[in-house]
Each structure stands twice: as C-alpha cells, then as structure tokens.
Amino acid sequence: MESDDAALVSRIREGSERAFNLLIDRHQQAVRGFLRRLLASPADADDIAQETFLAVWEGAGQYRGGSSVRSWLCAIAWRKAKSAQRSWFRQRARETDWQAEGAGPGPDDGASPEDRLAVRKALMALPIEQRAAVALCLAEGFSHAEAAEALGAPLGTVKSHVTRGRERLLETLNEIPGADSWQNGAEGARR
Amino acid sequence: MTDLETRLDRALAADAPPARDPMFRIAVLERRARAGFRRRLVAASGLAFGVAILASVILATWDAGVLDAMPAAERLAAAAAAGVVLAAVTAAPYLGGLTALRGLMARAAWTLRAMPRPRLWL
C-alpha cells in the first residue's frame, strides 16, 4: 500500500490525472476526517481538504518518501488548517455551523446525539495541537509516530497530547447520561 | 474496553466522512481547473500586454521609410509573422506552455538543490 502510494505520487509528479483521482479516492476520508475534527465547521474542513489535494497536484515533487503518503497529506492539511485558524473572524463567523450541520445522528453509527455533541464540544475546547493529535490517533487510527510526522512534533509530545486529550474527552462523556437510553429510544422508534 | 471508551470511539467515528465520495473528487478537480484557467488567463494577458508594449515601442522608434521601401509581399509576410508571434504568445499558456515552463523551473530547482553546497566558513 505504501509503495503503491509513493508510486501514485511519482505518477502525479509526471502529470497523471488517473493517479491524482486514485490518490483522492484513497485518502480523502483520512484528510477530511482529520480536518473535520480539527475545525469548527465541516464546510471549512472540506474547503481546506480540497486545498490540500490541490497543493499535492502542484507540489507532488516535494514528497521525499521518508514518511507515509497519508502522513504527508495530513501534514499539508495541518499547516493549512493552522493558517486558516489564524483568521479569527472566519472562525467566529462559522463556529456554530457544526451545530446545524453535524448534530443529527449519523446512519447506524451507534453514537447518541448527546455524546456526539459533547465530544465535539470538548474537542473544540482542547488546544489545537492536542486536538490534532487526538483526531489523528484516536479517530483516524494513526500510530503515535505517524501523527508525530504529520504534525511535525516530537513523539513524546504527541503521546502526552493524546493521553491528556483522551482523558478530557472521557471526563466529558462521564458527565452526561449513558448512550443506552438513546439506543433504546431509537430502537423503540424504529419499531 | 469500558462503556465510556466505547461511547468515545462511537462518538469520534460518527463524524467520519464517507469512504468513497465522488462529489468531493469532482469538487477538487473543478477547483483545480478553475485555478489553472485563472493562472493561464493572467499569464496570457500579461504576455499579450508585454508584446503589445514591445510592438508599440518598435513601431514608434522604427523609421517609417524602411516599411515603405519594402516590397508589398515582404510587408505582408512581416505583418503575418508579427501576427503569428502575438497569437503564439497569447495561446502559449493554454497550449501547455506554462506547464512546460513550470516543469523546466522545477527541474532547475531540483538540480540546484542536488548540487553540493560551497562551504562558506573554514
């Protein structure tokens, strides 16, 4: 898979449209998932994800091959997200978008809306570096080393960000009632 | 895994985008096409402007007698050549000229980066 990805990037460097399409199909979920958990608005997240893939098309030659393509993509997304975060007004204007767009229950994901909202809110309350580490390691399944590569941070820092962030999210969930009541209610409604 | 951890995993997984999303890919390709078009338009306008300035400077400084002394066929050929140059310059960004230029610049940058750096200190 890794060598496949590296081959895709070298074909993109030569201008292959097909390789570019394949790369998008293969990695859009990871990049968008990471950005959606990092930024307040899903629209902003998708916007930056698109910019990330455009940057890959224009700068595929910058991939050195030392890290995985997935980490490289998330590193680009991370840099772009950080510079977007600096635009405070943009963030303020859209910071409640997620409540409208992302608060409804997903299809069979098994999470109650209360849990989703609480976790989302707690994630947004974390410092951005900690949030990024949590998003990559807990939600996207990156290893600590991969996340450290993507975020350009020392491994120990990433590990401590993930541990602290996870504790904070668990504390938040502990403060609201369990999901059982929601699941029972949802099943009752289905019947 | 405790109940709390399961709930956290589910809540985090709930925000995941779909594994396959052709609309997202189309949005990226559309954005790339728009960016490319904008870049080519700017390049073509810049080049055409440059050629127009150059042509007006040449015409202003050229002795009109030279043109008058030319046989009609040669005058026609000169005008046609000027037209072809202007058209080629304007169309170059749309015919891959810009991509070729970028490729050349990228290759030059790679070569420069690969060259051994001179030591500036002893």
Complex ipTM value: 0.75
Higher pLDDT, B49 or B113: B49
Higher pLDDT, B67 or A135: A135
Q: Which residue of B has its CA nearest to A58?
A: B32
Given this model, what pLDDT does residue A170 score?
A: 92
Given this model, what pLDDT does residue A1 score?
A: 60
Given this model, what pLDDT does residue A159 score?
A: 95
State whether residue A22 sits within 8 Å of chain B by CB. Answer: no
Given this model, what pLDDT does residue B28 score?
A: 94
The DSSP annotation for B5-74 comes to HHHHHHHHHHTPPPS--HHHHHHHHHHHHHHHHHHHHHHHHHHHHHHHHHHHHHHHHS-HHHHHHS-HHH
> Chain B partners of A32 at a C-beta cutoff of 8 Å?
17, 24
Nearest-CB residue to A115 (from B11, B17, B29): B11
CA distance A48 to A79: 10
pLDDT surpassing 70 at residue A35: yes
The mean per-residue pLDDT over the stretch B80-103 comes to 75
Nearest-CB residue to A116 (from B5, B14, B32): B14
Give the rounded percent of residues in chain A with a pLDDT score beyond 90.
Answer: 54
Reported as a single tens digit per residue, the pLDDT across B31-49 is 999 988 888 888 888 888 8
Q: Which of residues 108-127 of A touch B (CB under 8 A)?
A: 109-112, 115-116, 118-120
Which residue, among A70, A20, A8, has the nearest Cα to B28 in the 3D structure?
A20
Given this model, what pLDDT does residue B80 score?
A: 85
Give per-residue burial for A101-111: e unless 16+ CB within 10 Å, then b. ebeeeeeeebb
Given this model, what pLDDT does residue A3 score?
A: 65
Given this model, what pLDDT does residue A12 score?
A: 92
Q: Which residue of A has its CA nearest to B14?
A: A109
Q: Which of residues 54-113 of B touch A (CB under 8 A)?
A: 99, 106, 110
pLDDT surpassing 80 at residue A80: yes
